[in-house]
Amino acid sequence: MEKVYDFTVKDRGGNDVSLSDYTGKVLLIVNTATGCGFTPHYEPLEEMYREFKNKGFEILDFPCNQFANQAPGDADEIHQFCTLKFGTEFPQFQKTDVNGENANPLFAFLATQKPFEGFGKGLKNAALNKFASANNKKYGDKAYIKWNFTKFLVDREGNVIARFEPTLDMKDVKKAVEAAL
């Protein structure tokens, strides 16, 4: 069975990074955007990173522009925005597609391990579901990720153990990370 550690991704500079470099760590893999209503998630993500990085925790940030063009700019511009506005220190990788024919294989794998189960209840979530459905129609059965700031939790053995949609309270994400550590 495939594990997260079997994948190679590109860092911000375009260099290959084997995720086996993270063997034995708890990972939170996130597709992000700098111009999204969920962009403030960078703040609690960075807080979690600073609190848990010495306990074997890493956040892997993959900017993605497939959702209403909310991640414009090149890798350096995105990185500068995140570090200046939110003080992010966790690893940021090359901007990538998470859906469609050119989807990063890592995200196709993550989404098949933990498929989308909905954004939750409430008017805001229903509105996002409608908007996301319209946006993702063009990807058909390859619409793996429904919106920015979808998070996947990976245990120390490289198994995907949870998926968190951007509408989930970040306190719940933190509790799951603590439990995995």
Q: How many domains does the chain contain in total?
A: 1
Whether 30 is in a domain gets the answer no
Asked if residue 118 belongs to a domain, the reply is: yes
The larger pLDDT score, comparing residue 140 to residue 174, is at 174
**By residue range, what is the domain housing residue 158?**
4-19+39-180
Q: Is residue 77 part of a domain?
A: yes
32 falls within a domain: no
From start to end of the chain, where are the E strands? 8-10, 16-18, 26-32, 57-63, 151-154, 160-164
**Distance in angstroms (rounded) separating the CA atoms of residues 167 and 51:** 23
| Site of tokens 């995995």 | 180
CA–CA gap between residue 52 and residue 172 (Å, rounded): 15
Whose CA is closest to 30, among 73, 105, 92, 119? 92
Residue 121 domain-assigned? yes
Q: Please report whether residue 143 resides in a domain.
A: yes
Task: Provide the pLDDT for residue 178.
Answer: 97
Catalytic residue check, 36: yes
Instruction: Measure the CA–CA gap between 42 and 83, rounded to whole angstroms.
Output: 10
List of residues 6+ apart from 18 with CB closer than 8 A? 5, 7, 8
Task: Decide if 4 contacts 109 (C-beta within 8 A).
Answer: yes
Question: Which of 38-42, 148-152, 159-163 bottoms out in mean pLDDT, i.e. has the lowest?
Answer: 38-42
Residue 148 lies in a domain: yes
Give me the phi and psi of 100, to 5 degrees please.
85, -175
What's the pLDDT tens digit per position in 57-93?
A: 999 999 999 998 888 888 888 888 888 889 999 999 9
Q: Is the pLDDT of residue 1 over 70?
A: no
pLDDT on residue 48: 97
Q: Determine, yes or no, domain membership for 34.
A: no
SS3 (DSSP) at 27: strand
Q: Pick the catalytic residue: 9, 27, 29, 36?
A: 36
What's 91's domain CATH number?
3.40.30.10
Confidence of residue 108 (pLDDT cuts 50, 70, 90): very high
C-beta atoms surrounding 125 within 10 Å: 16
